[in-house]
Amino acid sequence: MIKIKLLLVYFFSAILLNLNILWAEESPSNEGDEKSKKLNHYNIKILLGVETPGEGTRLDQGLLFKTFLYGGNILKYSTSFNLSAAKEYVQGEFSIGGQLYPLDFYKKSFVQPFFYLEATLGIGSYNKLTRIDGGHNLGVGLDIDFYKNYGLGIIVESHNALEKSLRILVGLQIKDYF
């Protein structure tokens, strides 16, 4: 009885997966041929947001400016720069990591959720003392396409380094820039 149930689950799962793949196929067009001739295409995000401090010595909220440069398919490689500023705190961070777009094969979808993990190196000052710290960022987000190659990016990020914080970012997303 258990074997029959497992076979039925397997059978229906295979049918649903096959239907999803068929629906996700992109119709051929001249524009698609031009894009396939490109060897590399990169995407850019320019985001603004707020930073709420967690564990650490800093208590004041800050403002953020973050840029992403990323490329790839379902598993994308990325690099980013972040500038954080608060009353007594200024820090620039360089990051490198990867992003996972689990629905990237659905080309007709205008909403793309993603997860990412980055290693960061921060250089800045707190209470007029210069410091360097390293850590990682773990985040989730949505890319919402509005017009051809432009859209909105929304990110919630957990920053774990010398100063831990929660970051919320919103900004412009530009696809296939270079």
pLDDT digits (tens, 9 = 90+) for 118-152: 999 999 888 888 888 899 999 999 999 888 889 99
Q: Look up residue 57 and give its two tokens.
A: 């010595």
pLDDT digits (tens, 9 = 90+) for 2-34: 556 555 555 555 554 444 444 444 444 555 545
Domain ranges of the chain: 34-174
Q: DSSP letters of 103-163?
A: TTT-TT-SEEEEEEEEEEEEEEEETTEEEEEEEEEEEEEEEEEEETTEEEEEEEEEEESSS
CATH architecture of residue range(s) 34-174: Beta Barrel (2.40)
Prediction pTM value? 0.71
Tokens 């992403």: give the residue: 68
